[in-house]
Amino acid sequence: MHRLCLFAFTLTLIVVILGAYTRLTDAGLGCPDWPGCYGFNYAPSSLSDHDAAALRFPDSPVDFTKARNEMVHRYAAGTLGVTILLMALWSLRHAHRHLRKVTWGLLALVCGQATLGMLTVTLNLLPLVVMGHLLGGFTLLALLFWLWMNTRMPKTAYREPASFHGMRGSGLLALAILVLLIQIALGGWTAANYAAMACVELPVCQGDWLSQWQWSAFHPHGVPADSYQYGVLSAPERITIHVAHRLWAMVTALVLLSLAWQLWRQPLLRRWGVWLALGLLLQLTLGVANVVLHLPLLLAVAHNAGAAFLLLILTGVAQRVWKIREGVWLEAHYFPHVGV
């Protein structure tokens, strides 16, 4: 199970990054149907394939690059689904009842993700569905990381009286997770509504952005349209979304820095605090660079990966704190291959 968890976690990380790459290359509708692509189970490349695709979908000309990006993402997601199915089947005979519940819950989440993937295409990139698909991928990534960390813990352990500053530390951790999830959702909403380049100035946004604030930018259904590719919101609404993402990034930075300081004060969690501070610094730098350099593809994908990295750090901290609160901990001096 430990090896399956590691493989599934790694594959999920790849799928999340591929999803960001697909979205940022405008390949979300690279295939107008689902789960195939123009009626094929691969991206059509030959002239005969293009002719058949033109007959099946005359209103959607084939763009091989976009179709290929979309199908690579689907292949990786399909492989992930099969892997988690194997984990669930293996758990029926070889795992504890609690682990069986977790693996079958992961399988249900993957099925939900597949449904959202289908709706992303059939509803022509409806922003609410796109954001939900993003959050589902991040949730799956965090849960698999949590499961992998638990399966890698050796059975031999001893009681450790350490605590994470009581309820205050745990409360700050819960707040940090909530704040980060909101920021990830805002980032997904920004990307789904093509608002990443609505502001090209720092530190302000297009002059007097406050006078252009539009709460309608956060309406879950948005403006009715046949297709939401390239966005349908007005310029003030896109500015509103972009500014909200920036402002909440400041809140997120303050909360995560506070948590990093609390972690630094705990010997067993100090390494996690360092990684959290470094990850936050990198993410802020990538955010600024994306604005200054006008959203280069590599940096935009890295910004998505950076959000995943921060979420994984908080997931790892939560798992460690949970172990501490249980009173079970492993000393790196006795188990150096595990570490903290």
- Which residues, at least 6 apart from 219, have a Cβ–Cβ distance to it below 8 Å? none
The distance of Cα 223 from the centroid of its chain, to the nearest Å, equals 25
Dmax over CA atoms of the chain, in Å, equals 70
**How far apart are alpha carbons 296 and 290 in whole angstroms?**
7
The pair of three-digit structure tokens given for residue 67, joined into one six-digit string: 């179709």
The single residue listed with the structure tokens 């430990």 is 2
167-172 contact pairs (CB < 8 A, 24+): 169/262, 169/266, 169/321, 170/321, 170/325, 172/255, 172/258, 172/259, 172/262
In a 3-state reduction of DSSP, which class is residue 6? helix
The distance of Cα 137 from the centroid of its chain, to the nearest Å, equals 5
Residue of 67, 72, 28 lying closest to 49 (CA atoms): 67
Strand intervals (E) in the chain: 158-159, 328-329
For residues 56-67, one letter each, b for 16 or more C-beta atoms within 10 angstroms of the residue's C-beta and e for the rest, the string is ebeebebbeebb
Residues with catalytic annotation? 70
The pair of three-digit structure tokens given for residue 145, joined into one six-digit string: 């990381």
- Which residues, at least 6 apart from 245, have a Cβ–Cβ distance to it below 8 Å? 183, 186, 187, 189, 190, 195
> Is the sign of the CA dihedral 209, 212, 217, 218 positive or negative?
positive
203 to each of 49, 138, 200, how far by Cα in Å?
49, 29, 9
